[in-house]
Amino acid sequence: MGRGSALLLLGFLLLRLNWGLAVGGGGAEEEGGVFPVVVSTWPFLDAVRAAWEVVAAGGAGGSAVDAVVAGCSACEVLRCDGTVGPGGSPDENGETTLDALIMNGTTMEIGAVAAMRYVKDGIKAAKLVMEYTDHTLLVGEKATAFAISMGLAGPTNLSSPESIEKWTNWRLNHCQPNFWKNVVPAGICGPYHPVNIPPFGFKDPVKGTVEETQGATCQGWLQSDNVLEPTNSHFKSVNRHNHDTISMAVIDKMGHIAVGTSTNGATFKIPGRVGDGPIPGSSAYGDDEVGACGATGDGDIMMRFLPCYQVVESMRQGMEPRDAAMDAISRIARKYPDFIGAVFAMNKKGVHAGACHGWTFQYSVRNFSMQDVEVITVTPYMARPQK
């Protein structure tokens, strides 16, 4: 073998070593700039495959932004776990609404919609906000009007027989559990008002209406004794089937990064509630110069900490993805030991890892060295008690 051939062989072997898998802490890590890469929360295999088809196409492939839209759209159509797209997670009124976000890590542009009614294409609506407005977030019926004016189908009923049945059974269970606290009446359906005693001379309109229309037969639920009952308001078992998001990150062949999320929010949420799905830096964040992050779990808690912004900034300061993910989760766990959530982190080289608290988390990955999507399982982080 000539010297030139030997050097070529040595270089090839070193390159192969850089592509090897290393397992530790939060899951598997890929080393070396191996593009493209698609990462998504949960075993949403078809969503990752849809994104991969776009980004791994011939030539330069599709863009990271287009891949994220394809992947999240697939999950919306499939109604992943009933928590993404139409037909799931009814609110207290039985209605399904959508939240979504997309971020271009090259330009740092973001588009998002929240509490959007009557349009089933959440991630496409978010992309329209990013591409055709100077805004970042549109909400409610105005987001609906915008999306339809830009060519998306609607108005469409986002409920389904399954979501209506779920809501009906919840009503029959006295609207329990729910997301209210410090209110009366406790333990049954509303309308609710604060526990605090109203000012002198104030007549409770709810009580007055019941007294006038129902007489004494329905007075028990308005008696002051109810103030002493525990509200048992918040869901004690948040899980991926009632309170979840698809969060996806893509690095395309050019090394550009995009992230996106789509969700129909928390089941039986108070109408108007917006979780972390459309909040930049909470559910997702990406920067070509550093990497990307996706999050899932109890958005009402997690959005108070912007965990994905924290992950990306920690990696910017030199942390490895696993350490950055664990650091972000630990910051939340120290303040809220009972919270349930997870993040995945991926640096600009495609190295990825995850961390979680309160549940066992799984995320999905596809890169060029894999024959199909692979699912990584992450064990829960145990928070150390504060001194």
Backbone φ, ψ for residue 113 (5° rounding): -130, 150
**Separation between Cα atoms, residue 77 and residue 79, nearest integer Å:** 5
Residues at the binding site are 273-276, 296-299
Q: How many Cα neighbours within 13 Å face the side chain of 39? A: 33
Partner residues linked to 297 by β-bridges: 341
Dihedral of alpha carbons 205, 207, 211, 214, sign: positive
**Separation between Cα atoms, residue 257 and residue 272, nearest integer Å:** 31
Task: State the helix-helix crossing angle for 64-78 and 122-132, rounded to 10 degrees.
Answer: 150
Are 280 and 102 spatial neighbours (Cβ–Cβ below 8 Å)? no
Distances (CA, A) of 177 to 187, 217, 275, 363: 8, 25, 18, 28
Helices (H), 204-297: 205-214
Provide CB contacts within 8 A for 243, sequence distance 6+.
Answer: 83, 235, 266, 267, 297, 298, 299
Residues at the binding site for substrate are 273-276, 296-299
* Tokens matching residue 309: 């912004």
Q: Which residues are catalytic?
A: 245
